[in-house]
A and B are shown apart, each in its own frame.
Chain A
Amino acid sequence: MLLTGAEIIMECLLREGVDVVFGYPGGAILPTYDAMAKYPQIHHVLVRHEQGASHMADGYARATGKVGVCIATSGPGATNLVTGLATAMMDSSPIVAITGQVPTAAIGSDAFQETDVTGVTLPVTKHNYLVYDVEELPYIIREAFYIARSGRPGPVLIDVPKDVQNARIEFQYPQGEIRLPGYRPPEKADERDVAAAAELINQSQRPVILAGHGILMSGAMQELRELAERAQIPVTLTLLGKGGMPESHPLVIGMMGMHGEAAANHAIQEADLLIALGMRFDDRVTGNLKTYSPNSRKIHVDIDASELNKNVMVDVGIAGDLRTVLAQLLPHVESNQHPEWIARIRDWQEDASDRDIIQYDTGDKLFAAQVINDLWRYTGGDAIIVTDVGQHQMLEAQYYPHQRPATLITSGGLGTMGFGTPAAIGAKFGRPDEVVWAIVGDGGFQMTMCELATAAQENINVNIAIINNSFLGMVRQWQELFYDRRYQATPMFNPDFCKLAEAFGVPAMRVTHRNQVEEAVAYAQSINGPTLIEFVVEKEEMVYPMVPAGASLHEMKRRPKLSEAKQ
């Protein structure tokens, strides 16, 4: 079959099972766009900014576990992808980005719209390629997909010069094994390490499991649950670990970290054993490392050996696929009970519920926490939630318990504002049968709100909840706590979001009172297409608990106790 490089790109995408790509055309990628006409099986979504394309590919990938694909032209098109690549890199999300490049003869000459894209994206991709020879193109695309989704997943970029897209060769899809001599993600654990880990678990009095994104990515939900139940070990989740075990399960004690549940943070600090599974001890979950869980032994399992002993020194470090390693470990773990330890955790939980804003009588005021908790209630706790970054994101983590994996999609590692809206669109393309809500702040929404036009053009059924506090809320919170309320550059003049949505042809509704929330959720979900609901909430709300940056994990700022406030 005689094909051009551009047709080879489309042909290979098809063979990788790609059904949708998110992109934006331009001179250097035009041959590939021209070839798309011959491949109607692959739906192209025209975004409004390439950042949106990268977040959509990411949202698609996180919702499905499959590789998301985005396409951009050379120069500015490619540089616009960078934020999305960095976001995907930090959260180990498998995406393949294809960018046009100036013709090979012009490379290095500062040609029109030339950027050293492989250079620029080197630190924010798992791997990248500049294709010089069309003969290599099919091999590279196959490798790229393989690298993106295997081991610790991540973004891979392929930069394709225009002449390579135009070159015509006899195409044969590469068969057989992919030969990457230096690429060997670990699989199984050494049995001695497994035995050492099991011994620590069997002897522990106060164990805690710290479950992260790796649970979902290796599909270890069942194994995690078995481990926790067999030895009665409480489980705390990272932000990206949410859904790794149903949050209604009595052993799940919620999210850990800066805005984690107080009970989870106290448990980590007082534990005698941490079992860290597919998480990476980010500073947002450890607080001050010097005082982090001072009296515990530590077991750490991660697919990425470079995460072991990076931030926290551990007693047993195992590089391997979590599901495989847990399956090795389970036969060695004895049934156990830790009634005193669990009772202690229940005390912390009771104390927390006495401080919970949901228990407060807030009268006529609408609080973001209530909106999110109501969203949970009226969506049956079963929607795919995609958040942006800020207070609303942390409140989602606190007030929207997830029962299933891959139902919370959020930028954890990079904390990328503007992620929510496009990632929700991508997620809906990946899981069309699920109800998808984006929960975004008024600030972050405005960073990528142009994608409302994409949603409208595609008539994609995403519901966008703007939590409008007229502030860059999370930054304002820091200013309130640490900068004497000097609200420098955080108050927002906002557009009329409902009118804005209408201008895009997107039905919208404004909610100012709690009794309207149920109706608004029902209204949004009744429309088969994008909708926008603006929730006008209290302006100066706080997210508690909060571990101030640099403080120890147990040194949380808390809301006052309700029982004491009443006296």
Chain B
Amino acid sequence: MTAPTLTNKQTIVALVENKPGVLNRVVSLFRRRNFNIDSLTVGRTHQPHVSRLTIVVDMQQANVQLIAANLYKLVNVIDVRIISDDPHVSRDLALVKVRTDDVESRNQVTAICERYPARILDIGTQVAVVEIVAAEDTVEAMIDELRPIGIVEMVRTGVVAMGRGTRIQDTDYRPAVPVKSNGNGYHL
């Protein structure tokens, strides 16, 4: 086991216009600016024209501000919050296929699942599929416990997150301010 490294994970939530190519713009921005993505999820919201991205990055606070400012520069990005700055909830979902080809392993998997917010979705004489939905570090802790038993396949969705309480991240709370635009050239 490697010693736990000091991570500096930050979670950004961006509301974007639900238009073709917008995800490409976001991903291209991260590549171009050399920002490393830990995980990125995209999903719908309650508004049909808005999609929601949750982006987890591993970096210093100042750089996260830079990412947010760069995201804002994309015309289709409506709102950006560094959600890890404030109280929030976050969830990651993992499906883990683990070896259960003897009594001992089967008992171990069952016992581990009881201690986590996890479920066995499918179990047979060879393997079981385990589901866990939890905060990212809890997911990781369970995976660490399953690993010695023998993980043969795994998928994680990446983190989705939401601020606690009544601070609503929405698209309508801020009016579209008229932008100054010098249509007739310089003010010399």
Of the listed residues A16, A184, A219, the one surrounded by the most CB atoms of chain B closer than 10 A to its CB is A184
| Chain B stretch 1-29: residues in CB contact (< 8 A) with chain A | 16-17, 21, 24-25, 28
Which residues of chain B are within 8 angstroms of A323 by Cβ–Cβ distance?
187
Q: Is the CB of B21 within 8 A of A118?
A: yes
Binds B, one of A145-153, A449-457, A475-483: A145-153
Q: If A181-B171, A306-B66 touch, does A64 touch B185 (CB 8 Å cutoff)?
A: yes
Which interface residue of B21, B176, B179, B180 has the most chain A CB atoms within 10 A?
B179
Does B79 count as interface, using CB distance less than 8 angstroms?
A: yes
Identity of the chain B residue whose Cβ is nearest the Cβ of A305 in the assembled complex = B69
- Chain B residues contacting A119 (CB-CB under 8 Å) are 24
User: A348-384 interface mask toward B, CB cutoff 8 Å, 1 = contact, 0 = none?
Assistant: 0000000000000000000000000000000000000
Residues of B within 8 Å of A17, CB to CB, are: 183-184
B62 CB contacts on chain A under 8 angstroms: 309, 313
CB–CB A183/B75 < 8 A:
yes
Q: B103 an interface residue at 8 Å Cβ cutoff?
A: no
Q: Is the CB of A406 within 8 A of B183?
A: no
- Inter-chain CA distance A180–B186, complex, in Å, is 24
Q: Which of A126, A306, A405 lies in contact with B186, CB distance below 8 A?
A: A405
Question: What 0/1 readout, one digit per residue, does chain A (159-180) give for beta carbons within 8 Å of chain B?
Answer: 0000000000000000001011
- From A122, A305, A406, contact of B25 by CB (8 A): A122
Q: Pick from B17, B28, B70, B182: contact of A149, CB below 8 A.
A: B182
Chain A residues within 8 Å of B77, by CB: 182
Residue B165 interfacial (CB < 8 Å): no
Render A115-155 as a binary contact track against B, CB cut-off 8 A, 1 for contact: 00011001100110010000000000000011101110000
Interface size class of B (residues with CB under 8 A): 35 or more
How distant is the Cα of A204 from the Cα of B65 in the complex, in angstroms? 28
Complex: A221 Cα to B186 Cα, angstroms:
11
Q: Is A555 an interface residue (CB 8 A)?
A: no
Residues of chain A with a CB closer than 8 A to B185's CB:
64-66
Task: State A430–B70 Cα separation when bound (angstroms).
Answer: 32
- Does A442 have its Cβ within 8 Å of any Cβ on chain B? no
Q: At the interface, yes or no: B168 with Cβ under 8 Å from chain A? A: no
CB-based contact A150/B181 at 8 Å: yes
Q: Which of A122, A181, A219 contacts B188 (CB 8 A)?
A: A219
Q: Cβ of B76: which chain A residues have Cβ within 8 Å of it?
A: 182
Q: How far is the CA of A266 from the CA of B186 in the complex (A)?
A: 33
Q: With A122-B25, A219-B188, A405-B186 as given contacts, are A184 and B179 in contact (CB-CB < 8 Å)?
A: yes
Do A182 and B186 form a contact, CB below 8 Å, given A177-B178, A308-B69, A309-B65? no
Q: What's the Cα separation between A130 and B24 when bound, in Å?
A: 14
Q: Give CA–CA (A123, B184) in the complex, Å.
A: 27
Whether A406 and B179, one on each chain, are in contact in the complex, defined by CB atoms closer than 8 angstroms, is: no
B17: A residues at CB distance < 8 A: 181-182
| A185 located at the interface, meaning its Cβ lies under 8 Å from any Cβ of chain B in the complex | yes
A118–B21 Cα distance when bound, in Å, is: 9
Q: Interface digits, B67-78 against A, CB 8 Å rule (1 contact, 0 not)?
A: 001101111111
Q: Does B177 contact A (CB under 8 A)?
A: yes
Chain B residues with CB under 8 A of A216: 186
B180 cross-chain contacts in A, Cβ below 8 A: 150, 185, 187, 321
Q: Judge whether B72 and A149 touch: CB under 8 Å.
A: no
- Which residues of the partner chain B approach A305 to less than 8 Å between Cβ atoms? 69, 72
B32 at the interface (CB under 8 A from A): yes
Q: Return the chain A residue nearest B79 by Cβ.
A: A182
For B188, the chain A residues whose CB sits under 8 A away are 65, 219, 221, 404-406
Q: Is the CB of B186 within 8 A of A146?
A: no
| Residue ID in chain B nearest A143 by CB atoms | B75
**Given A64-B186, A65-B186, A184-B177: A147 in contact with B75 (beta carbons within 8 A):** yes
B138 to chain A, nearest CB (A): 34
Q: How far is the CA of A146 from the CA of B69 in the complex (A)?
A: 20
Residue of B nearest to A219 (CB): B187
- Do A66 and B184 have beta carbons less than 8 Å apart? yes
| A304 is an interface residue with CB less than 8 A from chain B | yes
Q: Is A310 an interface residue (CB 8 A)?
A: yes
A65 / chain B contacts, CB cutoff of 8 Å: 182, 184-188
In the complex, 30 of the A-B residue pairs with CB atoms within 8 angstroms, ordered by the A residue number, are: A64-B185, A64-B186, A65-B188, A66-B183, A66-B185, A126-B75, A146-B179, A146-B181, A150-B180, A151-B179, A180-B75, A181-B17, A182-B17, A182-B77, A182-B79, A183-B176, A184-B174, A184-B177, A185-B179, A187-B180, A216-B186, A219-B182, A221-B188, A304-B73, A305-B72, A306-B72, A308-B69, A404-B188, A405-B186, A406-B188
Task: List 20 additional contacts besides A149-B181, A150-B179; criterion CB under 8 Å.
Answer: A64-B186, A65-B186, A65-B188, A66-B185, A123-B28, A123-B32, A126-B75, A146-B179, A146-B181, A147-B75, A150-B182, A182-B16, A182-B74, A182-B79, A183-B176, A184-B174, A305-B69, A306-B69, A310-B66, A405-B186
Per CB-CB distance, the 5 closest pairs between chain A and chain B, nearest first, are A219-B187, A65-B186, A65-B185, A306-B69, A150-B181
**A binding-site residues for B, Cβ under 8 Å:** 16-17, 64-66, 118-119, 122-123, 126-127, 130, 145-147, 149-151, 177, 179-185, 187, 216-217, 219, 221, 304-306, 308-310, 313, 319, 321, 323, 404-406
